[in-house]
Structure 1
Amino acid sequence: MTRAQELAEYLAGTESLAIICHDNPDPDCIASALALSAIAEWCGVADTELFYGGMISHQQNRAFVNLLHLNLEHAEEFVRGDFDKVAFVDHATPAGHTELESVEPDIVIDHHSTEAPECDFVDLRDEYGATASILVEYFRELDIKMNVQLGSALLFALHRERIDYIRGPTTHEYEAALYVYGHADLELLERLYGAAFSPSTVDAISEAIRNRVQRGATLATSAGRTTERDALAQAADYLLNVEGVDTVLVFGVVDSAVEMSARSIDPRVHAGNVLQQAFADVGSAGGHADMAGAQIPLGLFADSDADDEELVDFASRRVVHRFFDALHLERGEE
């Protein structure tokens, strides 16, 4: 029996299913949740709802949800007693990944390297480059018809998750993309890639460019205080193009936390491990070899009455120091 058949058998007889995305979900997470919802419907589940925490702030992600008319509820609306089963997609544990930290899943489908949780159905495949690839495989094995909305969502997710297929794609991503290509609305995808930057995103990226500090082939920089969490990842992708740079950390203060996004094309550097070494003792951190993220509470650096500009500056210095220390690089005078 394949994993897809095992999932279908597990869902048989289920009346309601809640699918929990990780906070600030990206297209891979959202498209995977949408695909699991379609599989659940095929299995006879009458009520399936998708939930997310945090914000959907990246301009392409907002366009992704709006143009595809996706229906997602915020985590604040989730009531555990309303659902027979709960599924996590693109994350395996609640701690550090979702606002719903007390919720234990019945189903977990993920491509990140993590310890397998104890639940009824677990499919973790860290040899895959995207969770969407796993869901596409389910569709193929179960021979479920795919509509244009889902095909478009999955193709966009596969492309975005592997950043134009240069960030460690596997054969699974190419095979999945080839399968969903015939079900996608390519004109709609062109509109998604043409989504405009918000002024706040441009401000955050420009601040990150201005504040950059480089040690050898490693660059770290602060975007200051920003409302655009996803601008950090966009700035990291952009700065990875700087000549002589192969590892980047971009961080910024978003609400009451320091959010971070790292990128690396150096085969000797595992971005997820570096961030865990640098920040796991004071917050949450992890990810892949080529891309990773971390979050630490701003309150670790001072109390709420501290001057905001001084607080952001102090936090920035501490983050840069910890990052360079984890890579055994000289701090310099930043």
Structure 2
Amino acid sequence: MSRAAELASLLANADSLVIVCHDNPDPDCLASAIALETIADQQAVDDVTIAYGGEISHQQNRAFVRMLDIDLRELAETAVEEYDLLAFVDHSQPGANTELDGSIRPDIVVDHHPGPLIDAAYADVRSEYGATATIFIEYLDDLDVEWTTRLASALLFALHRERLDFLREPTRREYEAALAVYPYADLETLEQLYGSAFTPETIDAIGRAIASRERQNTSLVASVGTTTETDALPQAADYLLNLEGVDTVLAYGVVDGAIRLSARSIDPNVHIGETLRDGYDELGSVGGHHDMAGGRLELDRVADFGDDDDLLETLDDRLPRRFFDAIHDGE
């Protein structure tokens, strides 16, 4: 029996399913959620809910939800224990990337991020893949699910934003998956998504990162300061990676009372997920891939509390030093 058939068989015996996205979900996570929702509908699951924690602050992600009419429920308002099945998409570790308590265990996990094995009735974690959307496209093809414009457009945009646009180590599978959904996608919708405007707050955060950047050799660290825009961090990291002579970037900032990290690397000798773990693992939850990673650090583990200026000064002293030391140790 194929993996897709195993998943379909499990869903066929359920009346309800809650699909939990990771906090601040991106297109890969959201597209994977609606792909799983489609498979559940095919298996006659009566009640399917997609839930998320955090916030959807990235302007493209907000447009993605609106234009593709994705019905989402806030995790805090969702009684996950009342559903027959609980699924994680694009993440696997309870309590690490969601607001859910760490003691809650999913029944279904589909993910492409590396991490410890998870005990679930169905777990398909393929770290050799570049996107969770790729896995779901294989599922949908295997199950002969009829392609809709909405579903194909969501998955194609997810593949581009996760891997293809930035050439972040896309595998052959991502290109094959994109070719599979391309004939059914609405390219005009994708063009509109790419044209989504930056918010003023995001521009301000990226501006602070540009002004604060600190460089050692080909590595760079920058602070976005205090912001409400979580997604400004990966946007700042992506932007600064374009700087001549830079191949590895860490952007950090204070968001909702915690320190957020977002890192990128195009240096084949740097595993940026391991670099963040080496530098910050005891301070919070960090990790990721060879080329992209992130994390959340607890303020009380990093700095003494004071006014905002004192806090940022402390972070500007400690966080870059740890990052550059971790990069140097990995060489």
| TM-score of the superposed pair, with normalisation by structure 1 | 0.96
Q: Alpha carbons of 1:105 and 1:123: their partners in 2 closer, same or farther (altered >3 Å)?
A: same
Partners of 2:12 and 2:292 lie apart in 1 by 37
Q: Does the CA contact (< 8 Å) of 1:251 and 1:261 recur in 2?
A: yes
Quick check: 1:200 aligned with 2:206? no
Quick check: 1:43 aligned with 2:37? no
Map of 2:216 onto structure 1: 215
Partners of 1:112 and 1:264 lie apart in 2 by 16
Quick check: 1:129 aligned with 2:130? yes
Residue ranges of structure 2 left out of the alignment (5+ in a row) = none
Q: Does the CA contact (< 8 Å) of 2:225 and 2:312 recur in 1?
A: yes
Quick check: 1:292 aligned with 2:293? yes
| Secondary structure in 2 matching 1:168 | coil
| Secondary structure in 2 matching 1:19 | strand
Map of 2:313 onto structure 1: 313
Map of 2:32 onto structure 1: 32
Residues 77-105 of structure 1 deviation map (CA, whole Å, 9 limit, x = unaligned): 12133200100001111122100123210
Map of 1:272 onto structure 2: 273
Map of 2:22 onto structure 1: 22
Map of 1:76 onto structure 2: 76
Map of 2:172 onto structure 1: 171
Partners of 1:115 and 1:307 lie apart in 2 by 38
Residue ranges of structure 1 left out of the alignment (5+ in a row) = 330-334
Q: Does the CA contact (< 8 Å) of 1:13 and 1:44 recur in 2?
A: no
Partners of 1:81 and 1:233 lie apart in 2 by 33
| Secondary structure in 2 matching 1:221 | strand
Partners of 1:202 and 1:81 lie apart in 2 by 40
Q: Does the CA contact (< 8 Å) of 2:111 and 2:125 recur in 1?
A: yes
Residue 119 of structure 1 and its aligned partner are, at CA, apart by 1.0
Letter in 2 for 1:257: A
Residue 163 of structure 1 and its aligned partner are, at CA, apart by 4.7
**Identity percentage of aligned residues:** 55
| Secondary structure in 1 matching 2:99 | coil
Map of 2:113 onto structure 1: 112
Residue 237 of structure 1 and its aligned partner are, at CA, apart by 0.6
Residue 325 of structure 1 and its aligned partner are, at CA, apart by 1.2
Residues 221-263 of structure 1 deviation map (CA, whole Å, 9 limit, x = unaligned): 1111111111110111111111110000011111211101100
| Secondary structure in 1 matching 2:283 | coil
Letter in 1 for 2:172: T
Q: Does the CA contact (< 8 Å) of 2:218 and 2:248 recur in 1?
A: yes
Residue 165 of structure 1 and its aligned partner are, at CA, apart by 5.2
Map of 2:58 onto structure 1: 58
Q: Does the CA contact (< 8 Å) of 2:252 and 2:259 recur in 1?
A: yes
Q: Which runs of 4+ in 1 moved over 6 A?
A: none
| Secondary structure in 1 matching 2:245 | coil
Q: Does the CA contact (< 8 Å) of 2:283 and 2:302 recur in 1?
A: no
Letter in 1 for 2:126: R
| Secondary structure in 2 matching 1:36 | helix
Letter in 1 for 2:322: R
Map of 2:149 onto structure 1: 148
Paired residue total: 328
Q: Following superposition of structure 1 onto structure 2, how do residues 221-232 of structure 1 map, counting pairs within 5 Å?
A: 221-232=222-233
Q: Does the CA contact (< 8 Å) of 2:276 and 2:323 recur in 1?
A: yes
Residues 107-151 of structure 1 deviation map (CA, whole Å, 9 limit, x = unaligned): 000011112201100101111100000000001001010211111
Partners of 2:130 and 2:303 lie apart in 1 by 39
Q: Does the CA contact (< 8 Å) of 1:301 and 1:311 recur in 2?
A: no
Residue 328 of structure 1 and its aligned partner are, at CA, apart by 2.0
